[in-house]
Amino acid sequence: MSPMSSLGSDDWQLVAHVFDVKPGQVIKVVVGKDPVCLGNVDGEFLAIYDICSHEYVELHEGWLEGDEVECPQHGSKFSMRTGAVRGLPATKPVPAYETKVEGEHVYVRGPVPVSSS
């Protein structure tokens, strides 16, 4: 990420407590100025950009199935690990974010470079 980028943050940001996101649930958090979809996949916290690349729809309003989030508008699916497209009609990945848990706090930073897998 270039120093001039307005996306996200290079610094870790406290975005939630572990009890804010139950396993199988996604919520919206903000990293820098970015809306981010934070999910709990069997106790592992994962984060991707919250806006579907197909249409301007918030992914946290969708459903978490395994490690994929499904957009509520047209059913596009994205990997919560990489932001890669896992189901049409979306064809472009969304940015993924790094996560870490310290005690009961969930931190996010990024985005990290987009992956196609």
Q: What is the pTM of this model?
A: 0.89
Tell me if the bond preceding 95 is cis, omega within 30° of 0: no
pLDDT at 6: 44
13-110: CATH architecture: 3-layer Sandwich (2.102)
pLDDT at 3: 36
> What phi and psi values does residue 53 have, to the nearest 5 degrees?
-80, -10
pLDDT band per the 50, 70, 90 thresholds, residue 2: very low
For the segment 57-92, what is each residue's pLDDT rounded down to a tens digit?
999 999 999 999 999 999 999 999 999 999 999 999
The full set of domain ranges for the chain reads: 13-110
